[in-house]
Structure 1
C-alpha cells in the first residue's frame, strides 16, 4: 500500500470504524428488542419488524453474521492503522496504532453505538435489518460454517442452541410485566388483569358467604311464615332446607314465585311452592376461582353451595363473587360492603367487625393481613392467640396492633386496628 496516500488510508479507516459501529450497535439493538412488541408490529404489517423477527428466529446465525462482519472490519482497521502509524512514527507505529485504535474503537465503535442502541433499539434495528438481510445471503456459507462449529462445541457441554427457553412468560413474569406497564395501561385495567392472574391463587372459601350468614328458609315452618320470609328476602334466589341447613332442598327463584302469584293470584300451599324449587349446584371446597368460573360457565349456573369432603355445607359462592375479585365490588351483592364493617376513629384507628373477610378488608383498606390461613379477622385473632381472648386483649400481627373490643364465649365480634407503620 506504499502507493496509496495517507489521506486515502485515513478515509478508509474512518469508514471501517463507522462499519464497526454499525455492527456493534445493530447487535445490541436487535438483542434489545421487545419480542412481544416486535411480534405485535409484525402481525400489524410493519415491514421493519417483520424483517427483524425473521432474523431473530435464528439468533445464532444473526450473531454469527454480525460478529463476522465486525471482526473483518476491525482487523482491516487495525491493519490500516498500523500502516498509517508506521509512516508517521516509524518503529513505534504498531504500538501507537494499537493504543490509539483501541481507544477510538472503544469510544466510537463500541460504547457509544451500543449505548444508543440500548436506548433506542427499534430506531436502529428496523432500518439496519435492510442491510443485514442481503449480508446474511452473501455470507451464508461462512455463517453456516462458523455456527456449525460453534453449535457442535456447545452440544458437547449439553447446550442445544436451537432449543432455548423461548419467549414464553410464566404467570408471575406476566404479572411483573403488567405492573411495570403503568404508562401504557390505565391503573384500573392493570389491576383487573392482575386480578385475573390471581384467580388461581384464590379458592371458593375465600369469597363465599359463610354458612352462618346464609339467608335460608326452613320448609318445616308454617306456610304463612315461609311466604313472609320469601316476600322480605333481600335476594332474588332463596335457599330452602328441611330442619337443618345441611339437609337442603334447593333454590327458589323469586321470579318463579312472582310468576305463580301472577298466574294463580295466590300461592295456596307448600306443595305448589316446592314444585318450583330448582336443584342445588354443589362446589367442592378448595376449588380455585379460575376453575370455578369455567365450571359456572359450562354448567350455565350462577350459584353453588360449597361443601367439604363430608358433604357438609360450608357456604355459598356466586358468579358475582368471582367477578368481584376481578372488577371490584358491585353496588349490590349477597354481602354488605366492606366499608359498613369498618369505622374510622378520630385518632386514626379503625373499629372493625371481626367477622369481616380478610381479603375484602385488605382490598378495601390496602392492608396486608395474612390471607393464607383463616378467612376472617376473628379466625386470625383466635388462631394467633390460640384461645378466645378476653375484652381489651391486645396483640400485634405484622404491622398492625389489634385490641379486642367485644367478644363472647365463642367468637370475637369487634376489634380495633391500629396501623403501626
Structure 2
C-alpha cells in the first residue's frame, strides 16, 4: 500500500475506527460500573459516607434508585454496542461485500465479549467498593442526563409485566433485614471468615424475635419449687441445696404460685437476731411473682427483663395456668450457648456413642442439638427432640420403634408413660429420603 493510498484510507476510515474504539471503551465502562455498583457493600458505603466521603454518598444515592441506575447503564451500554457494531458492519461490507456482515458479527462478538463485558466485569467484581467509588461521579452525571429516559423505559417494562401478573411497583424487599444478615453470616461461615461459635451467637440474636417464651422455658414438670406449708427448716434446706438462686414458692398446689424466694434474701433473714431455720416464715421474705404469657417473643421478654431489672418470671398460658418459668439466663443462653458456673448441675443430655450414633434425652431442645452438632432439624412445630418425633410420627411411639426423617434415623430407647425420655439418633440408611416423610419401621 502506497503512502497516498494509506493516507486516503486513514482519511476515509480512521474516524469510524476511532468511534468503534471509543464505543468499546464506553461499553466497558458501563458494564464495569453496573457490576461494581450492584455488588458494592452498602454497609461500607454508609460508613464511608458518615466519615465524610462524598463519593460514598453518591454511591448510596445511586443504589437507592437501583432500577433507575440499571436502566440508565443498560441504555448507555446497548447504545455503545449497537453503534460500534453498526459502524464495524459498514466497514466490513465495504471491504468484503455481503460476506462482511458475517465477519463483522464474528469480530465484534469476540471483541465486545472480551473487552466490553468479561474484562471490565471481572475487574469490577474483584474490588467492587473501590471501582464503585471511582466511577460514582461520572455515573451520577450520566444518570442525571439519561434518568428521564430510563424512567420511561422502566414504566413501560412495569406495564408490560403487569399484563402478565408481575408487579414491580412494590417497595417491599423480598428478604427482611434479618434474613439478609443471616444469609450473609452463613455465607461467611461457609467461606471460613466466621467461625461456628460466632455464627451461632449472631444467629441467636437474630432468632430472638422469632422464638417464644414457651420454646425455652423450664417446663412445669421440671420446675423446682418450695411448698410454703412445709416446715421452715425443710424450705431453708431446699433453697440452700438448690443450684438456683431464685425458686418459686407455692401453696396448696404448684399452680398457685404465691411468690419467689431469693437465696440472698433467705441468708439475710437467717442473719437477723433470734431467727433460726425452725422459726423462719418463708412467705414473708418472698418477692411478688411476675407472670408472663407463654406467647411472648424472646426479644420483648428480654427488653422486659432489662426494663424491670428482673431475672425471673412465671410463664402462664391463655387460661392463666402455670406452664413453667423463664429466666434472663435462659434468654442469654439462646445467644451465647450454655452458661455454667461452679454450682450448676452437670446434666448429660447428649452423648456420642462409639458406633457414631447420638443418644439424647427426649427433653433436649432441638435448637441446642442443632447448635451442638451443626444439624438442621426443624423446630417450628416442636421444641424438644421427643416432640419432633411425636409430631412427625403422628403417634406416641413404643420403645425400640424407629422412624426415619430429615436424613436421620430416630430410635426410641426409653418411654415413661406417654413421655419419650431417651432416643438414639444415627444417619439414615437412605440419605435420599425426602423430608418430612416418616417411615415407621416397627420394632427393632
Please state which band the TM-score falls in when normalised by the shorter chain.
0.7 to 0.9
Partner residue, 1:32: 39
Residues 270 and 282 (structure 1), Cα distance of their counterparts in 2 relative to 1, 3 Å cut: farther
Structure 2 SS opposite 1:201: coil
In the TM superposition, 1:80-95 aligns within 5 A as 80-81=87-88, 84-85=91-92, 88-89=95-96
**Structure 1 residue 293: deviation in Å?**
1.6
Q: Please report how far the alpha carbon of residue 276 of structure 1 lies from its aligned counterpart in structure 2 after TM superposition.
A: 1.6
Alpha-carbon deviation of 1:255? 0.8
* C-alpha distance 77-314 of structure 1, shift in aligned 2 (>3 A): closer
Deviations, residues 11-30 of structure 1 (Å, cap 9, x unaligned): 45433432332233323333
Matched with 1:55 is 62
Call closer, same or farther: CA 1:275–1:400 in 2, change over 3 Å.
same
Do the aligned residues in 2 keep the contact of 1:394 with 1:402 (CA within 8 Å)? Answer: yes
TM-superposed deviation, 1:368:
5.3
Contact map agreement 1:281 1:301 (CA 8 A) in 2: no
Contact 1:178 1:190 in 2 (8 A): yes
**Other structure's SS at 1:263 match:** coil
Helix, strand or coil at the partner of 1:251: strand
| Structure 1: gaps (5+ residues) | none
Matching residue of 1:233:
242
**Structure 1 residue 150 corresponds to structure 2 residue 153:** yes
**How far is 1:151 from its partner?**
4.8
- Name whichever of 242-251 and 378-387 sits farther off: 378-387
SS in 2 for 1:400: strand
Unaligned regions of 5+ residues in structure 2, if any? 1-7, 430-444
Over residues 353-384 of structure 1, what are the superposed CA-to-partner deviations in whole Å (9 max), with x where a residue is unaligned?
A: 44444443443344555534454455556664
* CA deviation after TM superposition for structure 1 residue 169, in Å: 3.1
Partner of 1:127: 134
Q: Comparing 219-228 with 93-102, which one deviates more in the overlay?
A: 93-102
- Within 2, Cα distance between the matches of 1:65 and 1:388? 63
Moved more, 181-190 or 76-85: 76-85
Match of 2:372 among 364, 373, 377: 364
Q: How many Å apart are 1:313 and its aligned residue?
A: 1.6
Normalized against structure 2, the TM-score is what? Answer: 0.77
| Residue 107 (structure 1) aligns with | 114
With the length of structure 1 as denominator, give the TM-score of the two structures. Answer: 0.81
356-365 vs 85-94, which moves further: 85-94
| Cα distance, 1:333 vs structure 2 | 9.5
Given that 2:233 and 2:278 are in contact with CA atoms closer than 8 Å, whether structure 1 keeps it comes out as no
Q: Structure 2: how far apart are the matches of 1:250 and 1:101?
A: 83
Instruction: Check conservation: 1:28, 1:114, Cα contact below 8 A.
Output: yes
Measured on the aligned residues, the alpha-carbon RMSD in Å equals 3.7
C-alpha change, 1:46 and 1:381, in structure 2 (3 Å) is: same
Contact kept, 8 Å, 1:60 with 1:161, in 2: the verdict is: no
